[in-house]
Structure formats: C-alpha cells, structure tokens
Amino acid sequence: MKIDLSHRRAIIVGAGQCGLAVAAALIARGLSPQRDFVVIDAAAGWRSWERRWRSLTLFSDARHSALPVLSFPGEPRVRPRAHEVASYLSAVEKHLGVTPMWRVRATGLHRVGSRATLLLETSAGKVQTRNVVCATGANARPRLPSWAGDLTPPGRMLHSSAYRSPVDIPPGEVLIVGGGNAGVQIARELSGTHRVSLAVRSPRRYRHIATFPWAAGRRRSVLGGTRPEPLFGDSYADLHRDGIDVVPAVARASGAEVELADGRHLTPASVILATGYLPGDDWLPAEVRGHSRGRTRTSVPGLFVAGMPGYGHRGSETLHGTWRDAATIARHITNRP
C-alpha cells in the first residue's frame, strides 16, 4: 500500500503517549497535524496499553498520568488501569485532531548527503523529510533471559506482555520471573487461583515503597541497570505473608526444570517472564542507538528521540514525564532553518 508521507516538516514514529505528546507540543507551536507533520505507527489501530493485562494499575494517580493538553477523567487520586489509559490516549488523539497512519512501520533512517534532509524507510516506502521523531517507546520489545530458550514447562511459558488474566494460565504451580512491579502485580492476581513462586534478584530487599513523582528519577536508574526497581505500595514480606513464595533468581534452565541461584530446583507447570522490555530504537542508525547528543537530540541533525531513558529527560518514559521531552523536541524542530 502506497501512502504519501512527503512534504511534511516532521514525521513522528509512534502513536502512543510519547508520539501524542510531541504532536501536542508541535501544535502548541503553530504546526498543523496531517499538513505540517504526520504520525505513523506499526500497529493496526490499537495501542500497547490495550494489550496489557486488564488489572494492570499505574504507579501514579490520574493527576500525574496525563498530558497537559487534556486531564485524565475520573477521580484524580485513583491510579488508572491499563484499559483506562488506552481510552484516555484515544481521547487525546481526537482532542488534538491527529489521525495516525496505522500499519506503517519505520525500518531505517539515513541522512541524505550533507543536506539537512533525512530519508526515512518505512513499510509503505521511503520518504524524505527534515525531521523525524522516534517515539516508539521505552517498552517496545520483550526482554527475555538467556536461558528462556532452554525451558519447556508442561503448561505455558510467556512474557508478561502476553499475559491477560488467570483464566489463561493452566492449573498448577506458576513461577513468575522478575521481582519488579509487573511481576508483583501478576503474582498478586494469580495467587487467588494458583500456587505462585516469585523469583527475584534481591530476596532480602523486602520493602521499598516509592511515591510519584520522586519515583521517576529512581526508575530511570533502574532501567539503566544501576539499582533494583522500587516496589510501589507492596513488599516481598507482604507477598510471603500472603502465601506467595519469594525465591532467588533463576540461574539456568533445562527442559521443564529451573535452577535457582541458591542451588534449588523447581519444576513449575507454567512460567511468566516479567523480565522487562527493550526500547523501540532498533530501527535507528547504529551510531545513534544508546547515545544521546543532548536532551532528546541525536548525532544526526533532525533526528530526535522522545520517551526513552538515556536519550531524554528524567522520567520521560512516563505519561507525566514525557511532556518535557516533547516540548524540547518541538522547540528544536520549529527553530531549525
């Protein structure tokens, strides 16, 4: 399918919270959606939030889970669930008048000679533009442990991104790998119907409650790998008290068996890998990935990254924090000659 993306001042890759934030910031500076810039997304009209398990709850309340252009509906002190975030982002899209071009995937990007022009490669063809914004998210691809390919439990093995509800997990003991907030939330939900073990890297770190917005800075260091992810409103001690077995991390796996870091062996019926995500920057030039020239800017003039720790401002992967990235990018785009 041939889609005309030419003659636009900017192309935003990603129609999620980061892409919509950049769109809103460009509109605030006088640019018009569809005419001056377009938003493309590889998805078929759905948002990643719609594919998360329905009981997933944000770390922050509604007051700190919205973009400045539109308030989150409902009680401001309640923490929204995943499907509510998806509905909110759809409302933001309509409020802004943005019409994303769905099913268009970015596959590569090159600079055209020495000119201030970029060649964006997409599943719909190649297009030249002056500015490209990578807004494909910090949680775009499941991160899998090295031993995952060696494990074949009799029930199911899936990443947390594919988990929906307890009814999808066969009877029997479930091992959840990953002691962050996703693993803890899923363990809580499954413990009502299954025997659950939670494998964590720091079993003795029983309590670490954090509150927003302080957590945004802490979470960035977590994603950078320097310290454990803080738990929001829960603790390993409480999980253990409520019947969830908190065990050391998985060291290796073979067949239906896993070996823990303390030498113990488990044979769970099903395994859920709550092992985090990789950013959606795999289509960027190699010299750009993981290297930020400045706040949101890269070494390629006209190429910007929104909503990814390591590229942007502190907390930029959150709904509340992505606006700072967006405002900076919009300023750079409108100031470029």
Model confidence band, residue 337 (pLDDT cutoffs 50, 70, 90)? low
Percent of the chain beyond pLDDT 90?
A: 57
Q: What pLDDT digit, counting tens, does each position of 99-131 carry?
A: 999 999 999 999 887 677 899 999 999 999 999
Model confidence band, residue 319 (pLDDT cutoffs 50, 70, 90)? confident
Separation CA 250–CA 206 (nearest Å): 18
Per-residue pLDDT at 184: 92
DSSP string, 65-126: SS-TTSPPPS-TTSPPBHHHHHHHHHHHHHHHT---EET--EEEEEE-TTSS-EEEEETTEE
Q: What pLDDT digit, counting tens, does each position of 272-289 carry?
A: 999 998 989 999 998 888
Model confidence band, residue 4 (pLDDT cutoffs 50, 70, 90)? low
> Kindly report the CA angle at 138 between 132 and 143, in degrees rounded to 5?
130
Lowest mean pLDDT among 62-66, 256-260, 302-306: 62-66
Closest CA to 313 of 7, 11, 21, 1: 21
The whole-number average pLDDT for the span 297-314 is 86
Dihedral angle over CA of 177, 182, 188, 194, nearest 10: -40
Domains plus CATH for the chain? 10-140+279-335 (3.50.50.60), 143-273 (3.50.50.60)
Closest CA to 67 of 50, 90, 49: 90
Separation CA 268–CA 175 (nearest Å): 6
Per-residue pLDDT at 203: 56
Per-residue pLDDT at 287: 86
How high is the mean pLDDT of the chain? 85
DSSP letter at 229 equals: P
Lowest mean pLDDT among 30-34, 53-57, 293-297: 293-297
Q: Does pLDDT of 226 surpass 80? A: no
3-state secondary structure of 167: helix
Separation CA 58–CA 33 (nearest Å): 29
Per-residue pLDDT at 53: 75
The whole-number average pLDDT for the span 230-258 is 89
More confident residue, 257 or 308: 257
Q: What pLDDT digit, counting tens, does each position of 88-107 carry?
A: 999 999 999 999 999 999 99
Separation CA 300–CA 287 (nearest Å): 9
Q: Does pLDDT of 187 surpass 80? A: yes
Per-residue pLDDT at 224: 36
